[in-house]
Structure 1
């Protein structure tokens, strides 16, 4: 759903940029409360994983594909404020390096793909957890529902922005119906990916899943066909002392494999927005991307003739750059919080 340059006029693009800037500023402040020494590097990993999975377009209808937006996944794994920042980092890397998503439309993309998806998904997620039993399965179910509904919500948000600042004269009702219709289908894929990823992490390290904090339900064992509480285990290593290196390394290798190898088997069909734009004529005034001459434009390495090798190398570079940028940003955010707490403690003393 990366909006290119030329879809939205300049005044509305600027307004969306201001709104996105405010959202990022608020998220930077909120992320200081969400991040700690363990989760700061994991937030960079989440950004890199979203980048990798976004390269895996999956078919959703005849001649149409979809890909992960990632807002729900990021919000549930590392928190809503940090989630907005994760998606924003991904969109910035894609726009600058890969000519994916217009630079003048960056504010629109951050608002739609980052802010809207995170807010909608996390609100639904927390709402469902408030009525479901406090179990790991409930977290996965709530993650599925939040992700599912966040995608058509983002499609509706784009349509609203287009209704205000679209550069072509197209009936908004038709655009809304087409956008929401196809993105409901894409939302199913988003939900499946989000639930599977959250479920995998929560199975091995529930303490690292922001949305799973506070789970108190005891472990159950099936004995004689009945579920009973498991006996209390010996004291384990304190959560704060448990290393995240294995999780980080496993996630990074997975991201590299997805972007460097699996991406070559992704659907080549246009995604939901591209398909609707072509069918409804809202792409008549699309502009060439300012980074069209980038050596990594269109997710390929310039002068590498083999398409699979070119795409794979571009994916690996993208994951590497995104994890480096994301980790650096989140460490800086966490360090700022630590410095503020230290200063407050010294003042109080």
Structure 2
């Protein structure tokens, strides 16, 4: 069985969207057993609280932070929302975000949320933010720049962006969902104030993520409730999911060095095969995640490419899976200076723990004919 589903003949190359549950995570959740509400004072509640605290401490240790700095959320989207909305508060101070942020951040510019308080930082043709552009239009309360782009895999200069933000008097947040378990990083070295994570991108369970807030950084609750998670995020805490998150994180970090070397080889092979096809380019620049290959295919629609590969047994994406089912140009590619037609011609492959050389060779063999058929379909 391939790691993306039950069909042994299919290849799953959409790990940037979600990954299969790791056995160690499943085991940790199953072994949780019957539990009570961690907020309750009876014996079952205290046992649940102890397990929740253990999971929080394990995750904090692996991230190099303090346990009480972690706020469990339902995933990366909620962590992003909570970070920016909670840190920006109800005032009028602007918030700066990069032009290539995940919809969990870019969507905060909607009326009724932050609206016109949001200022967008431009990116270059590779999708990278210039730290020098931060704060040039006046003070900001919060700056948010993602660590690794979820479409192109572009790695942002997080530490430099944080340094400039602090000099400008702003808090700095990074969406580190695509960095966790794929690139080594150090929150202290980055010197960020807030960071968002999600479990299911690293083989943990869907339904849990975390917001890290540096000690002393105030984040206001953005919803009402019982005041769990240090009063920042209310709702009955998810003990089994937290244990699964901790187990998946421990295993993914333990194998990271080996996985990165393997992903780099796989990426080089797939990228080489792709650019050998006339009119196909690899996006993202030189500093990219080793587990993401994002292609622009001249003269073809991304939807057609994805459908043809799906028919050939390959699961991949046209870009951000969070916009799956919506035929629209990629906002990330538009921000990089592409035309609407070019921004609709993209394909993303992303690797996971079990992705093999044989699978990449199969995709490399399929690509020339798939591209030719997609071009004829226009």
TM-score (norm 1): 0.29
Which structure has the highest strand share of the two? 2
Which structure has the highest helix share of the two? 1
TM-score (norm 2): 0.27
Task: Identify the structure with bigger relative contact order (alpha carbons < 8 Å, sequence gap 6+).
Answer: 1
